[in-house]
Amino acid sequence: MAAISLLNPKAEFARAAQALSVNITASKGIQDVMKTNLGPKGTLKMLVSGAGDIKITKDGNVLLHEMQIQHPTASLIARASTAQDDITGDGTTSTVLLIGELLKQAELYIAEGLHPRIITEGYDQARLQALKILDDMKRPVEINRKNLQDIARTALRTKLNNQLADLLTDVCVDAILTIKKDDDKSVDLHMVEIMEMQHKSATDTQLVKGIVMDHGSRHPDMPKRLENAYILTCNVSMEYEKTEVNSGFFYKTAEEREHFVLAERDFIIQRVQKVIELKKKLCDGTNKSFVVINQKGIDPNSLDLLAKEGIMALRRAKRRNMERLALACGGLALNSFDDIKEEHLGFAGVVYEHVLGETKYTFVEDCKVPQSVTILMKGPNKHTLHQIKDAVRDGLRAINNTLDDKCLIPGAGSFEIHANLKLRDHARTVKGKTRLAIQAYADALLVIPKTLAVNSGFDSQDTIVKLQEEAELSTDPIGLDLSTGEPCKPVDLGIFDNYIVKKQILNSCTVIATNLLLVDEIMRAGMSSLKG
Amino acid sequence: MSNTKEIITLQFGNYANFVGTHFWNAQEHSFNYDPDVEEPAEINHDVLFREGKFFKNITFTPRMLLLDCKGSLKYIKESGNLYSNISLERNNPEKNLLDQVIHTIDWDEENIEVMESEEIPMTDYQRSLMETDDDDEKIFDLKSSVQNWPDFMYTRYHPRSINIIKDYEYHNDISTLDTFSAGLQLWNNPFFEDDYCDKIRMYIEECDQSQGFQTIFDSIDGFSGVAIKCMEYLEDEYSKSILAFPLIPNRTKTFQFADEGMSETIRLVNLAFSYAKLSEHSSLFIPLSTMERGWRNIGEPRKFPNMSYESDNLYHSSSILSSFIDTMSLQYRLREHSSQNYLSNFCAQMNTYGRKMCGGKTSLPFPMQEKEDLIEFLDKFDGDLMQSISPNVKIGTDRIVQHVTLRGLSKTRLKKPLEKAKDQMKMAAYKCTSISEMLQLYFQCNTYASLSHVAAVGSPLQVKLPFPKEFFDSRIASNGFLREFQSEEKANVREVPIMTAVQNSSELANTLENLHTHVERVKLAKVPRFSDSGLEKEEYKELLEQLLVFKEQYDENSFL
């Protein structure tokens, strides 16, 4: 009898073997749900809510978020996988699969009497060894378009159909290459704005080398399209408002009061005049034009004044767009107009407005050296846009990871095949029962190529044997060609994974799996247990 | 140029959405579609609503954002029920919508796995809205059938309005988003913040001269944290007035993995955090509840004369609170503006010396008889004109600052014309020429050393389905006034006069002190979920300090 039941007779508990089987069953359960997702030939999941909301995804992370996971063990695994996504942006499905498989393999040995402690020690050794193998296998890459395309394509094809994936690959790679500095360091992904338009079809998604904003000018007389435009980005209120604090003015007569009100308004008008003066100085008599993009508000009076001068003015720009605009078209985001000069302004070849339903979009394009770009996603409906958005985020992350790592790992399951072989060799050098655990670890790794094979409609044992034979003979990494089911050389086909993704998977999966294995008692003695 | 000064409304939490749903229903019921009406309505609906376009149709939707847990929407789509995907349904009405969607997906059809949740059936009321125009005659037993706010939602919302938290699921009997600090964490999730703030920005970008924000939120669970963070952001980004209504529901749920005692403690701490932080980030706040006590043991339902509501029914109590918000907010959303009547002014008049907390009072319905004139009524009336609806708040008649709104009394009900006046002539109030003037005089006589702002609006509160008008008792006539002759049969009430007041006085110091004493006793270490969600011990100490400082603002001083 567990000690807890002496203290709290209502407590529920599960001990030793029972506790272990609870954990293993849960991890197998979540593995089963996610298994079919893996790889470019996995199933697409379509989630329909009770009200008919549709969500389409192939991304393990999105799926985990959508499912309400109640089981504590399963939710622990789900959290590990979410963490994987936070850190690397990919590999969530693999994480779930590998944790499940590590536990499954361990179960066999534990049933035969091997102590979980020995298995966890073996797993930990195997992890270190696997990391070494991973390091040996990594291929330093030059940062060029082709290599980046390879990695982005591999990531995106697991999430979208090939045609769209290839299109987005180019979009993502171009986006990063445009804003990348010369030192090949990873970029700030916030500088890639992602904008969605419910319109046309997914294949109309494009990269805009400039900024797209989801609002337009609010005055009917303002120009809808300007060329050779100076861009003034600012965070200065052009809105008359009474101040919040009790700052009432004191007056004796009605005229005096009117006068005060006018004086307050005058203050705002002067600000607007400053902009207009600058515009007159720079643009009048030339073919240049003037655009004001303000983070604060612009009231109808001020808009009127600006419209009369042919200035296009946008109010309430996104805070982050202030930074992006300055990077895209140059200039500075101003906080006051006190000594406003030409060098504070940015410049764009063309600025135009596009109206779609009740939303206006403003494009700022043709910038000289854009350091910030926009990916304009299009799709006929919400769920397509959502799917593209998730995919684009992952694609960008994959490219950025490559810039960080400066190396890649051959994909298509080749790492797992290779590591399996090497670990088996290594196991032979180990004395004692730990050897069994290392073997178990090596076998667990094979879950990735096995699942890839099954999802593509091939026999898993057949495929694995073929791959292993080929790998033993070849010095190159050998992976699985999903269209034929035959071994292939992923390096030649341009299938690559991120180094950091694999590294993270090995680390986190081993840690979670060993933690779960060492659990020998589960108890629930909360005050309102079993609810929810 | 229109003179509209727009307001954006934010609702956080389940009960807040109950109140909000009633509020928007009432707004929509007060629209006037009759083109022959000569005078424009007194109320300027553009303050709260926005005009939009969807497939060449003009839409008029609330400028509002609501937030709730996953599952609370039931059969309502996340994109709302207004801007639905018409194109798909129209193309092929016979075919199953789902199949059509599958055909549009560019993926091997065999490899698409559909995970369908059970379809949630619509309630009778919602179905009747879809089918025909509303008629008031049909009877739905909303009182007992309403489980959640979509069940009595009449107004349709813009797709932007609805925000759902995926990480927390809605349950009937427990609440999952538990602590203030969990709410803070939720806000700090970059995706959430980006999304939500962007939606606020899109609303405010449409406004020419927004006057500020109204926030309605549940103050006893984790939504308080989200709401406070949001107000912090609003203050920072837009520096406009923020009027807040922290709510305490009349029926509370326990929290996940907590018994009643633990839940009470969590509620209390959340509430204390809300009050303390509101004193910092809002311009003015009015706690509302139909319960008399609101800290540890939420209880003692308030009684209102002439109506009998079910004290543990959320649908009932929220309609009372919503009618209060609806009426008091008239102050800043009338068409005929003097420059005084804006939210900023309203707040500035009430929050002198940093006394940002106010009490609310309402009289629903305003207890005047059918044939009575206001002058007579005020002369005869004895007792409390209004009932407090702020928990643990008791405000007397000395040294108060108040804003009173009376709606639903036409000018003809003020007094009798000279030739028929008779006794009325003798009263001092007979010289008053307007309702607000007379009320002003009334309050001058009935309060001591106080300041009253009074507004009177002619149009009464419309009570149409789904307003729970069944709670008015048989004394109320169909026009909302008290019947002259008793009748056993309940009238079908169509409109009611209502009076509300927002009051501030030094007596609120007691409320805050009382709260502080209660919270001080809580041992935070015994509630690990607070520290689990990132609350530091220091912050808690600061909270207690902040409450005390806030309380000091109310202490007697030389001014009031």
Q: Which two tokens stand for residue A152?
A: 């982005």
pLDDT per position as a tens digit, A290-348:
899 999 888 888 898 899 888 999 999 988 888 888 888 888 888 888 888 888 888 88
Distance CA B10, CA B21 (A): 12
Among the listed ranges A10-14, B74-78, B206-210, which one has the minimum average pLDDT value? Answer: A10-14
The contacts of residue B94 (CB under 8 Å, 6+ apart) are: none
The contacts of residue A328 (CB under 8 Å, 6+ apart) are: A210, A211, A346, A348, A364, A367, A370, A371, A372, A373
The phi-psi region of residue B214 (left if phi > 0; otherwise alpha if psi is between -120 and 50; otherwise beta) is: beta
Check CB contact of B489 with chain A, cutoff 8 Å: no
pLDDT per position as a tens digit, A427-474:
888 888 888 888 888 888 888 888 888 888 888 888 888 888 888 888
Distance CA B524, CA B543 (A): 12
Among B residues 207-266, those touching chain A with beta carbons less than 8 Å apart: 207-210, 237, 239-241, 254, 256-259, 262
Sign of CA dihedral A107, A110, A116, A119: negative
CATH topology of domain A211-369: GroEL (3.50.7)
To test the contact with chain A by mutation, choose from B106, B189, B254 the residue with the greatest count of A C-beta atoms within 10 A, namely: B106
Query: pLDDT value at position B325?
Result: 93
Q: Which two tokens stand for residue A162?
A: 């090939």
- The reported pTM is 0.87
Q: Which two tokens stand for residue B406?
A: 């009376």
Q: Per-residue pLDDT for A200 more than 70?
A: yes
Distance CA B144, CA B128 (A): 17
Distance CA B388, CA B381 (A): 18
Among B residues 27-86, those touching chain A with beta carbons less than 8 Å apart: 52-55, 70, 73-79, 85
A59 is catalytic: yes
CB nearest to A36's CB, from B113, B205, B239: B113
Asked if B74 and A529 come within 8 Å (Cβ–Cβ), the reply is no
What string of H, E and C letters represents the secondary structure of A146-167? HHHHHHHHHHHHCCCCHHHHHH
A390 is catalytic: no
The backbone torsions φ and ψ at residue A305, rounded to the nearest 5 degrees and listed phi first, read: -60, -45
* DSSP assignment string, B8-52: EEEEESHHHHHHHHHHHHHHHHT----TT--SPPSB-GGGTEEEE
Long-range own/partner contacts, residues B108-112 (CB < 8 A, 24 or more apart): B111/A41, B111/A42, B111/A43, B111/A44, B112/A43, B112/A44, B112/A45, B112/A46
Residues B375 and B421: beta-carbon distance below 8 Å: no
Side-chain-side CA neighbours of A157 within 13 Å: the count stands at 20
List every span in chain A annotated with CATH 3.50.7.10: 211-369
Residue whose pair of structure tokens reads 């509020």 in the numeric block:
B23
Q: Which two tokens stand for residue B268?
A: 């209390």
Sheet holding B112-116, edge to edge: A54-57, A44-48, B112-116
**Which positions in chain A touch B53 (Cβ < 8 Å)?**
357-358
pLDDT per position as a tens digit, A207-224:
888 889 988 888 888 888
Distance CA A167, CA A152 (A): 11
A124 is catalytic: no
A394 is catalytic: yes
Asked if B209 and A380 come within 8 Å (Cβ–Cβ), the reply is no
Check CB contact of B506 with chain A, cutoff 8 Å: no
- CATH class belonging to A3-140+409-524: mainly alpha
- Which amino acid does the sequence have at B267? R
Q: Given pLDDT bands bounded at 50, 70 and 90, which one contains residue A530?
A: very low
Distance CA B176, CA B69 (A): 9
CB nearest to B114's CB, from A46, A245, A532: A46
pLDDT per position as a tens digit, B185-220:
889 888 888 889 999 999 999 888 888 899 999 998
Among the listed ranges A295-304, B86-95, B355-364, B542-551, which one has the minimum average pLDDT value? Answer: B86-95
| Alpha-carbon distance A340 to nearest alpha carbon in chain B (angstroms) | 23
- Please compute the mean of the pLDDT values over residues B224-239 and round it to a whole number: 91
How many residue pairs bridge chain A and chain B with CB atoms within 8 Å of each other?
136
Query: pLDDT value at position B334?
Result: 82
Q: Which of A394, A402, A497, A510 is catalytic?
A: A394
Percent of chain A at pLDDT above 90?
2
CB nearest to B204's CB, from A300, A316, A381: A316
Query: pLDDT value at position A244?
Result: 45
Q: Which two tokens stand for residue B68?
A: 């709730």
Q: Measuring CA to CA, which residue among A532, A71, A305 is closest to residue B253?
A: A532
Query: pLDDT value at position B326?
Result: 92
To test the contact with chain B by mutation, choose from A45, A196, A241, A261 the residue with the greatest count of B C-beta atoms within 10 A, namely: A241
pLDDT per position as a tens digit, A32-58:
888 888 877 888 888 887 777 788 887
**Which positions in chain B touch A526 (Cβ < 8 Å)?**
257
Query: pLDDT value at position B88?
Result: 44
- Please compute the mean of the pLDDT values over residues B171-180 and round it to a whole number: 84
pLDDT per position as a tens digit, B340-359:
678 888 888 888 778 899 99
Q: Per-residue pLDDT for A527 more than 50?
A: no
Q: Which of A93, A95, A374, A451 is catalytic?
A: A93
- Is the CATH number 3.40.50.1440 carried by domain B7-31+38-80+142-350? yes
Measured from the Cβ of residue B309, the count of other Cβ atoms closer than 10 Å reads 23
Task: Please give the C-alpha separations between residue B136 and each of B140, B320, B461, in angstroms, as whole numbers.
Answer: 10, 20, 16
Distance CA A194, CA A168 (A): 13
DSSP-based three-state secondary structure for B451: strand
Residue of B nearest to A216 (CA): B205
- Please compute the mean of the pLDDT values over residues B447-475 and round it to a whole number: 86
Query: pLDDT value at position A528?
Result: 41
Long-range own/partner contacts, residues B278-282 (CB < 8 A, 24 or more apart): B278/B228, B278/B231, B278/B244, B278/B246, B278/B356, B278/B357, B279/B354, B279/B356, B279/B357, B279/B546, B279/B550, B280/B546, B281/B228, B281/B231, B281/B232, B281/B235, B281/B242, B282/B215, B282/B231, B282/B242, B282/B243, B282/B244, B282/B356
Distance CA B92, CA B88 (A): 7
CB nearest to B239's CB, from A56, A164, A244: A244
Asked if A46 and B115 come within 8 Å (Cβ–Cβ), the reply is yes
Distance CA B90, CA B85 (A): 9
Asked if A46 and B53 come within 8 Å (Cβ–Cβ), the reply is no
The mean predicted confidence, pLDDT, of chain B is 84
Distance CA A253, CA B209 (A): 27
- Bond before A477 cis per omega within 30 degrees: no
Residue whose pair of structure tokens reads 């209120």 in the numeric block:
A237
pLDDT per position as a tens digit, B265-315:
889 999 999 999 999 999 999 999 998 888 888 878 888 888 888 888 889
Residues A191 and A179: beta-carbon distance below 8 Å: yes
| Alpha-carbon distance B246 to nearest alpha carbon in chain A (angstroms) | 21
Q: DSSP assignment, residue B490?
A: P
- CA-based radius of gyration for chain A: 30
Length of chain B as a residue count:
560
Sheet holding B498-505, edge to edge: B387-388, B359-363, B498-505, B400-407, B451-457
Q: Given pLDDT bands bounded at 50, 70 and 90, which one contains residue B327?
A: very high
Q: Per-residue pLDDT for A246 more than 50?
A: no
Q: Measuring CA to CA, which residue among A508, A473, A509, A465 is closest to residue A489?
A: A473
The mean predicted confidence, pLDDT, of chain A is 83
The contacts of residue A363 (CB under 8 Å, 6+ apart) are: A208, A210, A211, A212, A350, A351, A352, A353, A354
Check CB contact of B172 with chain A, cutoff 8 Å: no
Residues B554 and B393: beta-carbon distance below 8 Å: no
C-alpha A94, offset from chain centre: 17
Among B residues 180-209, those touching chain A with beta carbons less than 8 Å apart: 198, 201-202, 204-209
Q: Any idea of the CA torsion for A194, A199, A200, A202, to the nearest 10 degrees?
A: 30
The phi-psi region of residue A457 (left if phi > 0; otherwise alpha if psi is between -120 and 50; otherwise beta) is: left
List every span in chain A annotated with CATH 1.10.560.10: 3-140+409-524
pLDDT per position as a tens digit, B303-316:
888 888 888 888 99
Asked if B101 and A215 come within 8 Å (Cβ–Cβ), the reply is no
